[in-house]
Amino acid sequence: MAEKATRLGVRLRPHVKTHKCLEAARLQVRGHFGGITVSTLAEAQAFAAGGFGDITYAYTIAPSRVADAVDLARRIDRLSLVLDDADVLAAIEAAAATKGLCLGVFLKVDCGAHRSGVAPDTEDAVALARAIARSSHVELGGLLTHAGQAYRSCNAEEARAAASAERDVLCSLAQRLRAEGVELPELSLGSTPTLCAADDLSGITEVRPGNYAFFDAYQVAIESCALEDVAFSVLATVVGRYPARRTLVLDAGALALSKDAGPTHVDPACGYGLVLSSDGSRRHTSLRVVGLTQEHAELRAAEDADWSAFPVGARLRIVPNHSCLAAALFDRYHVLRRDEVLAEWRPVKGW
């Protein structure tokens, strides 16, 4: 991704929400300008303490957290906030004015995910951009979007179309605003599926992919990557075997894998992840994770499964559907080279 950002002529500001740990973020920014994206203020605070000085909190900030953000902004080179609401702008302006600060703010644009962001073709979008640009207590950093809808694509070709749409929505709103004199230093976009597929980001200045640091079963299904590219898995132990019901039970329930339903639009029977051998070298296609309760995973075996390979106590690796969610369930990662544990990394917790 770092090479691709360079090739496409954009700055890489990786989203660290996937792993939430300093060591992984330091690897991601190597050779780039060092900026990162976070999705909680707890991440922002921890990464600031770890030496990251240019942070975008890419989440529409709640007014109750503005004071925390302002406190942090005073301690680092640049903290940028994201908003799509005039009341939030007023709350940020008031807090910044009290502390004598000028805060960087991005206008969040909805490019089709319909989760948050202003609708790009509306007068409201233009009016809010103008209001941010006019303010003396905030500085308009630019426009920011995230093509969450790319997760509904089935393959790389569909993701490439989503990438073009993400770029075009941002560029056309920018053109309209710039035509009336609104300055927009940055146009920032990015999701892992769109950035894996993108081949032209003309007009865009910055990208914020996150999941690519680990990838997962979902990204394999929609062709963002191959299974060999996935860097995150959960090591689990067989705690029950019931050949008569063709069922294995593992000690890795929803609190280990999360309950993300996965890429059911590509494979309705995808279950809750991909099952690998304990060293990660082989996929067990004869096993599917069909059910999860809090600490238990229920695996269904194909008729021809080799039951001698799965005694109670045997270990298996599960590549979860969504590594960002699964990773957030753990208090540490074991960093592996094959079977050797090279390090233990601790993710940030909290909001």
Ligand X SMILES: Cc1ncc(COP(=O)(O)O)c(C=O)c1O
Q: How far is the CB of 146 from ligand X (least distance, A)?
A: 4
- Rounded CA separation 351/210 (Å): 18
Specify whether the CB–CB gap between 78 and 55 falls below 8 A.
yes
Stretches 44-52, 127-135, 171-179, 205-213: which one binds ligand X (CB under 6 A)? 205-213
- Rounded CA separation 28/13 (Å): 9
Instruction: Between 37 and 149, name the residue whose CB sits nearer to ligand X.
Output: 37
Stretches 131-139, 207-215, 291-299, 312-320: which one binds ligand X (CB under 6 A)? 207-215
Instruction: Between 56 and 135, name the residue whose CB sits nearer to ligand X.
Output: 56
Q: How far is the CB of 81 from ligand X (least distance, A)?
A: 12
- Rounded CA separation 78/250 (Å): 45
At residue 232, the 3 state secondary structure works out as coil
Residues in CB range of 262: below 8 A, 6 or more apart? 217, 218, 221, 270, 271, 272, 273, 321, 322
Instruction: Between 135 and 191, name the residue whose CB sits nearer to ligand X.
Output: 191
Instruction: Between 13 and 317, name the residue whose CB sits nearer to ligand X.
Output: 13
From the list 5, 10, 12, 15, which residue makes contact with ligand X (rule: CB under 6 A)?
15
Q: How far is the CB of 192 from ligand X (least distance, A)?
A: 3
| Residue among 34, 87, 80 nearest 57 (CA) | 80
Specify whether the CB–CB gap between 225 and 278 falls below 8 A.
no
Q: How far is the CB of 303 from ligand X (least distance, A)?
A: 37
Positions 208 through 267 that interact with ligand X (CB under 6 A): 208-211
Residues in CB range of 165: below 8 A, 6 or more apart? 111, 112, 147
Our finding on whether 323 is near ligand X (CB under 6 A) is: no
Check the CA dihedral 233-238-239-243 and report its sign. positive
Positions 140 through 179 that interact with ligand X (CB under 6 A): 146
Positions 23 through 52 that interact with ligand X (CB under 6 A): 37
Per-residue mark of binding to ligand X, 174-203 (x: CB under 6 A): ----------------xxx-----------
Q: How far is the CB of 299 from ligand X (least distance, A)?
A: 27
Per-residue mark of binding to ligand X, 117-136 (x: CB under 6 A): --------------------
Positions 45 through 104 that interact with ligand X (CB under 6 A): 58
Query: By CB neighbour count within 10 A (0-12 exposed, 13-18 middle, 19+ buried), where does 145 fall?
Result: buried
Specify whether the CB–CB gap between 316 and 257 falls below 8 A.
no
Q: How far is the CB of 190 from ligand X (least distance, A)?
A: 5
Instruction: Between 158 and 251, name the residue whose CB sits nearer to ligand X.
Output: 158
Q: How far is the CB of 84 from ligand X (least distance, A)?
A: 11
Instruction: Between 34 and 210, name the residue whose CB sits nearer to ligand X.
Output: 210
- Rounded CA separation 180/161 (Å): 29
Question: What long-range pairs does 165-170 form, CB within 8 A, spacing at least 24?
Answer: 165/111, 165/112, 166/111, 166/112, 166/191, 166/194, 167/198, 167/200, 167/201, 167/202, 167/203, 167/204, 169/109, 169/111, 169/112, 169/120, 169/145, 170/109, 170/111, 170/120, 170/143, 170/145, 170/203, 170/204
Q: How far is the CB of 323 from ligand X (least distance, A)?
A: 9
Instruction: Between 97 and 325, name the residue whose CB sits nearer to ligand X.
Output: 325
Instruction: Between 188 and 299, name the residue whose CB sits nearer to ligand X.
Output: 188
- Rounded CA separation 207/191 (Å): 8
Count of chain residues binding ligand X (CB under 6 A): 11
Q: How far is the CB of 125 from ligand X (least distance, A)?
A: 17
Using CB under 6 A, list all residues that contact ligand X: 15, 37, 58, 146, 190-192, 208-211
